[in-house]
């Protein structure tokens, strides 16, 4: 896998959810009224406000997807703590009204709930931006890539003068749309995946083609590829969850030979063929405070925003516990 050229600030603009420290999610369970041409849209039994709250901090899901909070605590090795609250909201119009601009639904809901909520409670890192607003919408989905499908992006709400709209003095940041029922395992895994986008992570799969098939991507289980298991070492490196002094080994391969460094110091043992012998510790561990590192192989000096290969290997532990048939029920 490789990283594209760019600057760290460009990576950060992909999402506004804090990557370390405290992060806060505002989740809205949105139903829609009917009119003379449209039936009202509500939620099936079990797809309740309590179930939506449970996606954030509950414990009824199947490990390692029991909740957003628990999953990201393990994935970040305790560096990220996600909390939040869920509320019901009935939109002012039938769902079709928002077809061309779902951002209008977010604005409407935030305005309507302004007297009920202090949006400062949803700015975990104090940067003046609401970390993330999730809307779980009623009525089911309309197919991949359509308006009514799960997705994440950054809200760009502007007033008539072109200035950012403020809610209790805060700009609206990342948004998530969730189409899967909140009382299902797929709903939980989808919310975890979309939350990865709010921290800046891209999809690692190829978009479906006209025939519905999709090739390419990283072709291994990863939360940003197939909504399974943990985030990979490259993602964790970019998110600041790995210690570059101890957990990232840079291997530079040039015509002059092979040089391996970690934290600026040379590591490894020379081999007879001019290479370097390195130990690659298991990346995953059931001890949340411990993880193995990654080995980054390139033909140039250390530059995380360049092209390289990333090596890691996993145990069936932590968020990777589903691997190799361990609890195969998670493969549904």
Q: List Cα–Cα distances, 53 to 84, 103, 251, in angstroms.
A: 8, 22, 44
Arithmetic mean of pLDDT, 244-259? 93
Q: What per-residue confidence (pLDDT) applies to 6?
A: 30
Q: What per-residue confidence (pLDDT) applies to 5?
A: 29
Contact 252, 299 (CB under 8 A): yes
Tens of pLDDT along 227-238?
999 999 999 999
Determine which of 29-38, 53-62, 267-276, 319-328 has the lowest per-residue pLDDT on average.
319-328
Average pLDDT, the chain: 89
Strongest mean pLDDT among 263-277, 285-299, 310-324: 263-277
Q: What per-residue confidence (pLDDT) applies to 9?
A: 32
- Model pTM above 0.85: yes
Contact 156, 187 (CB under 8 A): no
Domain ranges of the chain: 8-200, 234-331
Tell which wins on pLDDT, 231 or 332. 231
pLDDT at 209 over 70: no
Tell which wins on pLDDT, 11 or 233. 233
Share of residues in the chain with pLDDT > 70 (%)? 90
pLDDT at 60 over 90: no
Tell which wins on pLDDT, 211 or 305. 305
Tell which wins on pLDDT, 13 or 126. 126
Arithmetic mean of pLDDT, 156-173? 92
Closest-CA residue to 223 (of 332, 324, 72): 72
Angle CA 198–224–172, to nearest 5: 10
Rounded to an integer, what distance in angstroms lies between the CA atom of residue 279 and that of residue 295? 9
Tens of pLDDT along 85-115?
999 999 999 999 999 999 999 999 999 999 9
Rounded to an integer, what distance in angstroms lies between the CA atom of residue 309 and that of residue 298? 7
pLDDT at 266 over 50: yes
Q: What per-residue confidence (pLDDT) applies to 290?
A: 75
Tell which wins on pLDDT, 324 or 16. 16
């Amino acid at each position: 896998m490789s990283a594209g050229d760019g600057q760290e600030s460009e990576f950060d603009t992909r999402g506004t959810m804090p990557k370390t420290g405290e992060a806060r999610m505002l989740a809205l369970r949105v139903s829609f009224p009917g009119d003379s041409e449209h039936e009202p849209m509500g939620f099936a039994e079990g797809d309740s406000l309590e179930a939506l709250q449970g996606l954030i901090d509950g414990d009824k899901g199947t490990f390692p997807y029991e909740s957003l909070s628990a999953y990201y605590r393990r994935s970040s090795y305790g560096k990220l703590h996600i909390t939040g609250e869920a509320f019901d909201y009935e939109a002012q119009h039938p769902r079709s009204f928002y077809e061309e601009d779902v951002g209008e639904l977010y604005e409407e809901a935030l305005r309507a709930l302004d007297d009920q909520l202090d949006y400062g409670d949803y700015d975990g890192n104090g940067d003046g931006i609401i970390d993330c607003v999730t809307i779980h919408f009623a009525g089911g989905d309309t197919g991949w890539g359509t308006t009514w499908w799960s997705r994440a992006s950054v809200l760009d709400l502007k007033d008539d003068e072109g200035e950012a709209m403020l809610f209790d003095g805060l700009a609206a940041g990342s948004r998530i749309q969730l189409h899967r029922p909140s009382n299902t395992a797929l709903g939980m895994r989808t919310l975890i995946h979309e939350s990865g986008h709010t921290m800046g992570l891209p999809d690692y799969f190829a978009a479906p083609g006209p025939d519905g098939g999709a090739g390419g991507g990283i072709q291994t289980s990863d939360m940003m590829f197939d909504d399974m298991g943990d985030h990979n070492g490259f993602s964790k490196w970019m998110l600041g969850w790995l210690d570059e002094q101890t957990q990232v080994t840079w291997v530079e391969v040039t015509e002059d030979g092979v040089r391996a460094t970690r934290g600026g110091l040379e590591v490894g043992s020379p081999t007879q063929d001019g290479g370097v012998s390195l130990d690659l510790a298991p990346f995953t561990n059931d001890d949340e405070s411990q993880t193995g590192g990654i080995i980054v192989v390139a033909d140039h000096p250390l530059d995380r925003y360049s092209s390289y290969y990333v090596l890691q290997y996993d145990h069936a532990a932590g968020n990777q516990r589903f691997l190799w048939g361990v609890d195969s029920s998670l493969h549904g």
